[in-house]
Structure 1
Amino acid sequence: MGSSVRVKEAVVVTPSEPTPPCVMLLSPLDSQLFLRFTIEYLLVYRPGPGLDKVATTARLKAALAKALVAYYPLAGRVRPSPNSTGLEVLCRAQGAIFIEAVSDRYTVNEFEKVPKTVLQWRKLLSLSVPDVLNGSPPLILQLTWLSDGGAALGVGINHCICDGIGGAEFLNYVAELASGKRGCPKPKPVWDRHLFNVPPMTRVDSTSHPEFNRVPDLCGFMNRVTNNLRPTCVIFDKRRLIELKGVARRTCQIADSSFTSFEVLAAHVWRSWARAVGFPPNQILKVLFSVNVRNRVKPGLPDGYYGNAIVMACAQASARELGERGIGFGSGLVKKAKERVDSEYVKRVAELVSESRASPDLVGVLILTQWSRMGLDRVELGMEKPVFVGPICNERYCLFVPVKGERDSVKVTVAVPAASFDNYHRFLRE
């Protein structure tokens, strides 16, 4: 069988108006070693009545060019700063990449099923960027027309320039321009990366930040969790989340036993993953999850700030504790980890990554990211809202993604070792 996706056109799209030629400094949070990759989204749309594919493609390209006027760093190129350990963006209106493709195999309904392999949907964003600092474009959009008239939008955004919330704001702006909507004025994109700058030669103790501390590898951890992976996808509806909260309250050992849906679901997934993979009882395990700090730092960040305004919170326990002490125990750990993230915590992270290039060690780690509240499910292209939002490639990093038409439901995607697949689902159902 030939390729399931055929590229019709790949072009460079530059800002539709002149933009400032300059060098823009990125913040210490932007420059973190573990954020030097491309965030890849996949949004799938049902066919609309009388949809004009040629006109829709032209509107999307024109909207991208117009959006790049306000968000002109996304048309630049990220590079190391010659004067520091951080990064900067060379802004010369170099442009983003727009790809139009067609598929003779995929239909919209295809995306209601779990992909068979982690790379099955790779060609829906056919230009992969393994090194975001080698002059590659920081933004790639691929519009693939599906065989039933629907469309898939693959998006790649350099994580050094913006976080998920910032990227979703940009995509919604592009979509509004493409669909011709005229709503309330949006916040002007705000750069202001200096807000996370730290004084030079600061020395900070990293022991209060377990995300940066190494733990002993008792089991060949990376080989165990990265080989022969099989994608999984499980939806937790409102009723199931309420059930999990009840179990967490009954089994927790802290005075304040009120948990959010995120806290109990993060704990449940972390625990189920750990039990399914079968780590040694004394293996220390961590769950790292991103926390939006826009309203946690003092003063708060201005509306429209689209840089990385996230830090990684960390909960940790032994495999034995996770398995034996239950979801209430794990929920308490996640809750405490989240509550530790305040303005001072963010400042210490900025100092650590700036001065010592601190980066999380991946031994014992499950990384969890919440996409379900970023606004990706609102990105319209003149074809109504997407019926599917998820990753291009399903990896071992766990994502909470939105469910079409069910705001209180969460879809959990993560790739687990094939040998752990059945047990992982069994533990999730408990």
Structure 2
Amino acid sequence: MFKSSELPDCTYVNQPTFISPKTPTPNHTLYLSNLDDQKFLRFSIKYLYLFRKSVSAETLKNSLSRVLVEYYPLAGRLRKTKESDDHKLEVDCNGEGAVFAEAVMDLSADEFLEMARKPNKSFRKLLYRVEASGFLDVPPLIVQVTHLRGEGMILCTAINHCLCDGIGSSQFLHAWAHYTTQSNPTNLPILPYHYRHVLKPGNPQRVKFSHPVFTKITHDTHNALHLITYLQSLPLVASSMTFSSSQITHLKKQCVPSVKCTTFEVLASHTWRCWVKSLDLPCFISVKLLFSVNVRKKLMNDMPEGYYGNGFVLACAEAKVNDLIVPNLHDGVKLVQHAKSEINDEYVKSAVDRLEDKSVVTDLSASFVISQWSRLGLEDVDFGQGKPIHMGPVISDIYCLFLPVIGDSDGVTVLVSIPESMIDKFEYYMTETFAIAENGDAKSKCGDENLQMVCV
């Protein structure tokens, strides 16, 4: 049994290749909306899948080439618009292709599954690194298939966030799987709609809201409190906690009868509060919680089905530390619900217009950011040899992630990186309510037997 804490090296079968669309695709420039090319989205969403059985690389290449006919912007290249510097981006839909790498690794699926219980920086080996001078020089889609000892396979993808959000990335992966599993592929259940003009700024622009999620870059910005920069300068460890449906129900019951809430609302509030408590911040500091809200059905004129861009805006809940660390969980839930309730047609259009000012950026200075992957259907992707036995990020050092739980559709895994010196307190606060419920004594135990908690 493999016992090292680090993955062995990958051996590449051959040089990575470019997979282009199977048939000619539109050759044009694709406009990106103000929601697409925000500075804080200029990275790739990196997914990691572990499958019990492999699919041949040739099969995956052929189906990828087929699906890129519909998802042709992923085969193009990002570039700056001619009218501006790097503030505004567009996609040159030139069909150059996605990067496809094939490798082997001396590791079994079960050995990797055991390692995957803990976030591991060596998982970066599973995604081919393109040598590039900058973000714009990296192809929008990179794929690596790693065949394991036995019949297992790891599939990793890097999808440029400027081209799509989590809903779009899941839509693409399911489409790719559709063409992989169908001997005579039929039309896709959902066709991507690439044009973003529904999110073009108004003329004249009308910013009707204060938008606390944004801040304006000024000469005084560097002198302002930047909690996140400080925290990221410290040694970070990743904590992974899986909450079962019964534990989530327990959290919800703490909010009754004051408020009824969803799984996301209660778990977001709980995690935000525990993060703030573990940092021992001064009580007067205001801290934000930022989380995405899908706006595809929020506009008066709904986005077309299959809209393939960033169809979300960030909601912002904000409170002073002393208002967050109170025992009442429902206070934080109400803040989350209020932030969600503000997102409507006028708010979305106002946010798009606000972002026309290129000195406006997402305020990450004192913010806790949650990215929800747990309700996107990512865990259901099947390339013909069964659904994955593990699904998660390749790396986990950007935002807090809510991940799906294989085998428990109502469960949620919370993955968050936190300074090593604060990890014990964070874990204690996250689990103390379950210890109280089980033992009546929060100090006797920091979690119950069903709560999986690991840190590295």
Structure 1 length-normalised TM: 0.91
**Counterpart Cα distance in 2 of 1:329 and 1:242:** 17
Q: What amino acid does structure 1 have at the position aligned with 2:172?
A: F
1:107: how far off? Answer: 3.2
Helix, strand or coil at the partner of 2:338? helix
Question: Residue by residue, what CA displacement relative to the aligned partner does 1:340-384 show, whole Å, maximum 9, x if unpaired?
Answer: 111111101101112345221211111101101112111112221
**Counterpart Cα distance in 2 of 1:422 and 1:366:** 18
Unpaired runs of at least 5, structure 2? 1-5, 434-456
Contact 1:201/1:355, CA 8 A, preserved across alignment = no
Aligned pair in 2 of structure 1 residues 294, 124: CA closer, same or farther (>3 Å)?
same
Q: What amino acid does structure 2 have at the position aligned with 1:230?
A: V
Corresponding residue of 1:232: 239
Contact 1:283/1:318, CA 8 A, preserved across alignment = yes
Corresponding residue of 2:17: 11
1:35-50 alignment, distance < 5 Å: 35-47=41-53
1:187 equivalenced with 2:190 (yes/no)? yes
Corresponding residue of 1:389: 391
Aligned pair in 2 of structure 1 residues 221, 141: CA closer, same or farther (>3 Å)?
closer
1:135: how far off? Answer: 2.9
**Counterpart Cα distance in 1 of 2:164 and 2:31:** 13
Question: Residue by residue, what CA displacement relative to the aligned partner does 1:315-344 show, whole Å, maximum 9, x if unpaired?
Answer: 111122111253111111011101111111
State the percentage of identical aligned residues.
36
Question: Residue by residue, what CA displacement relative to the aligned partner does 1:84-136 show, whole Å, maximum 9, x if unpaired?
Answer: 55321111111000011111136344334556665221111122588775332
Contact 1:221/1:363, CA 8 A, preserved across alignment = yes
The farther-off stretch of 116-125 and 189-198 is 116-125
Which of residues 30, 33, 39 in structure 2 aligns to 1:24? 30
The farther-off stretch of 99-108 and 236-245 is 99-108
Contact 2:31/2:90, CA 8 A, preserved across alignment = yes
- What root-mean-square deviation, in Å, do the aligned CA atoms of Structure 1 and Structure 2 show? 2.4
Q: What amino acid does structure 2 have at the position aligned with 1:228?
A: P
Corresponding residue of 2:167: 165
1:272 equivalenced with 2:274 (yes/no)? yes
Structure 2 length-normalised TM: 0.86
Helix, strand or coil at the partner of 1:140? strand
The farther-off stretch of 214-223 and 182-191 is 214-223
Contact 2:208/2:347, CA 8 A, preserved across alignment = no
Corresponding residue of 2:65: 65
Contact 2:63/2:176, CA 8 A, preserved across alignment = yes
**Counterpart Cα distance in 1 of 2:235 and 2:173:** 34
Aligned pair in 2 of structure 1 residues 418, 292: CA closer, same or farther (>3 Å)?
same
1:293-312 alignment, distance < 5 Å: 293-312=295-314
Question: Residue by residue, what CA displacement relative to the aligned partner does 1:13-60 show, whole Å, maximum 9, x if unpaired?
Answer: 11111112111111111121211111111111113xxx6x5xx21110
1:189-208 alignment, distance < 5 Å: 189-200=192-203, 202=205, 204=207, 208=210
The farther-off stretch of 225-234 and 27-36 is 225-234
**Counterpart Cα distance in 2 of 1:325 and 1:158:** 40
Helix, strand or coil at the partner of 1:338? helix
Aligned pair in 2 of structure 1 residues 129, 320: CA closer, same or farther (>3 Å)?
farther
Contact 1:276/1:423, CA 8 A, preserved across alignment = yes
**Counterpart Cα distance in 1 of 2:384 and 2:115:** 25
Corresponding residue of 1:340: 342
1:105 equivalenced with 2:107 (yes/no)? yes
Corresponding residue of 1:134: 136
Q: What amino acid does structure 1 have at the position aligned with 2:245?
A: K
1:190: how far off? Answer: 0.7
**Counterpart Cα distance in 2 of 1:75 and 1:134:** 14
Helix, strand or coil at the partner of 1:411? strand
Aligned length: 418
**Counterpart Cα distance in 2 of 1:403 and 1:183:** 30
Aligned pair in 2 of structure 1 residues 131, 27: CA closer, same or farther (>3 Å)?
farther
Contact 2:119/2:240, CA 8 A, preserved across alignment = no
Unpaired runs of at least 5, structure 1? none
